[in-house]
Amino acid sequence: MYQEKYIQVEKDLKLYVETDGVEGHEACLFISGAGANTSFWSERLCYALSDKGYFVIKYDHRDFGYSEKIDFNKNPYDMMDLTRDAVAVLDSFDVKKAHIIGHSMGGFIAQLMSIHYPERVHSITSASSSTNSPQVPPPPERTWEIFMNNEPKNNLEQDLEGFLKVWKYLNGTAEFDRDMAIEYTKQLYERQEIKGPIGESHVKAQENIANRSELLKQINIPALIIHGKEDYLVDLYGGIQTAGCIKNSKLILIPRMGHIPFNHEIKDQFEKEIIKFVSSF
- Over residues 233-254, the pLDDT tens digits come to 999 999 999 999 999 999 999 9
Q: How confident is the model at residue 169 (pLDDT cuts 50, 70, 90)?
A: very high
- Over residues 24-37, the pLDDT tens digits come to 999 999 999 999 99
Count helices and strands in the chain by DSSP H and E runs? 10, 8
pLDDT given at position 10: 86
- Over residues 66-96, the pLDDT tens digits come to 999 999 999 999 999 999 999 999 999 999 9
Distance of alpha carbon 152 from the chain centroid: 22
- pTM beyond cutoff 0.95: yes
List residues bridging with 142 in a β-sheet: none
How far separated are the first and last CA of the chain, in Å rounded? 25
pLDDT at 122 over 90: yes
Which amino acid makes up residue 44?
A: R
- Over residues 256-271, the pLDDT tens digits come to 999 999 999 999 999 9
CATH class assigned to 3-137+199-278: alpha beta
- Over residues 188-208, the pLDDT tens digits come to 999 999 998 899 999 999 998
How distant, in Å, are the alpha carbons of 19, 41, 161, 211, 242 from that of 251? Answer: 28, 20, 34, 20, 9
φ/ψ bin of 217: left (φ > 0), alpha (ψ from -120 to 50), beta (otherwise): alpha
Q: Which helix (H) or strand (E) holds 225?
A: strand 223-228
pLDDT given at position 99: 98
pLDDT given at position 149: 92
Rounded to an integer, what distance in angstroms lies between the CA atom of residue 241 and that of residue 236? 9
Rounded to an integer, what distance in angstroms lies between the CA atom of residue 61 and that of residue 38? 9
pLDDT at 136 over 90: yes
- Over residues 96-112, the pLDDT tens digits come to 999 999 999 999 999 99
Sign for the CA dihedral angle at 196, 200, 201, 207 comes to negative
pLDDT given at position 224: 98
Whether 105 and 34 have beta carbons less than 8 Å apart is answered as yes
Rounded mean pLDDT of the chain?
Answer: 96
What is the rounded average pLDDT of the residues 103-124? 98
pLDDT given at position 273: 98
Kindly list the strands in the beta sheet with 55-59, ordered across the sheet, starting from the edge strand earlier in the chain. Answer: 3-10, 13-20, 55-59, 27-31, 98-103, 121-127, 223-228, 249-254
For the chain, state the CA radius of gyration.
17
pLDDT at 1 over 80: no
